[in-house]
A = this chain, B = another copy of it.
Amino acid sequence: MADNGKPTNGKRLAAWQPGKGRVDLDKFDSDATPYSVGDKTRDKIEVDSLAQQIDALQNLLYANRARKLLVVLQGLDTAGKDGTIRDVFNRTSPLGVHAVGWKAPTEDERAHDYLWRIHRCVPAAGEIVVFNRSHYEDVLVPVVNGWITPEQQRQRFEHINDFERMLAETGTVICKFMLHIGYGEQRARLQERLDDPAKNWKFNPGDLDVRKQWPQYQRAYEDLLGATHTAWAPWTIVPADSKTHRNLMVATVVRDTLAGLDLCPPPANPALRGVQVD
């Protein structure tokens, strides 16, 4: 944590308190690489090593069946949410981790409160669930488009903090990542999707409309980062112009979080001692 109490690049954010001043995303370099050893090949080897450690820790998480891990990935279009999931969790058994991608709500979902569909998909004991987008979209799209009032926005921040605190107090560890890319990097990635026929399927014309609202989205992100960075569900802002660095940073935080739970193999069952199978 920086002296000014704001989340800083390249560090896990500790208990940054709302009200200690705005988060200013312009001060976070999207092309910084604080976790890198300065050599891309070695960084990639480290990502793979971390992915294997995450798999081993997930096995313990499952064996203990006591804690749950919820990983939230947020970021603008092309920020690399899909790529992060692939590269950080590709060594973990699909039995122990699953990803949930959140789209615009269905009619049935819209007929409920906005946390209803989210709550259904939180991890059970022993599970890791990765949210590709999340309930934070409900304090982004409606805010930028003026569909909710500032008072409703504030109310939602409080709902979300309450909801996440309840999850934390009932055994869920929550890691939230904001994949922070630059305006120029997004242009390059969108252009690549247009120019490369093999990537055309990833292009959505609506992405260009959202890109026009770039400053509004930055402000909405700053609001939500400030208001929902809590001791029980902290945000990490990940410089994400470099894909390798992004993976390295997310994998490190996830590995450290799991390692910090001090998971042990469950004790032996004395009742089974000496039992012979005929």
**What is the CA–CA distance of A172 and B120 in the complex, to the nearest angstrom?**
18
What range describes how many residues of A lie at the interface? Answer: 20 to 34
Within 8 Å CB of A234, what residues of B? none
List the B residue with the shortest CB-CB distance to A168: B113
**What is the CA–CA distance of A68 and B31 in the complex, to the nearest angstrom?**
47
User: Whole-angstrom distance from the CB of A159 to the nearest CB of chain B?
Assistant: 4
The reply on A108 being an interface residue by CB < 8 A is yes
List the B residue with the shortest CB-CB distance to A161: B162
Question: Is the Cβ of B111 less than 8 Å from the Cβ of A126?
Answer: yes
Per-residue B-contact encoding for A155-181, CB less than 8 Å = 1, 0 else: 100010011011101111000000000
Per-residue B-contact encoding for A101-115, CB less than 8 Å = 1, 0 else: 000000010011111
Q: List 16 A-B contacts (CB under 8 A).
A: A111-B124, A111-B125, A111-B126, A112-B122, A113-B167, A113-B170, A113-B171, A114-B170, A116-B120, A119-B119, A159-B166, A159-B169, A162-B162, A162-B163, A162-B166, A163-B166
Residues on A lying within 8 angstroms of B by beta carbon are: 65, 108, 111-116, 119-120, 122, 124-126, 155, 159, 162-163, 165-167, 169-172
Other A-B contacts than A65-B111, A112-B122, A113-B172, 19 sampled, CB-CB below 8 A, are A108-B124, A111-B124, A111-B126, A112-B124, A112-B125, A113-B166, A113-B167, A113-B171, A114-B170, A115-B119, A119-B119, A119-B120, A155-B169, A159-B165, A159-B169, A159-B170, A162-B162, A162-B165, A163-B166
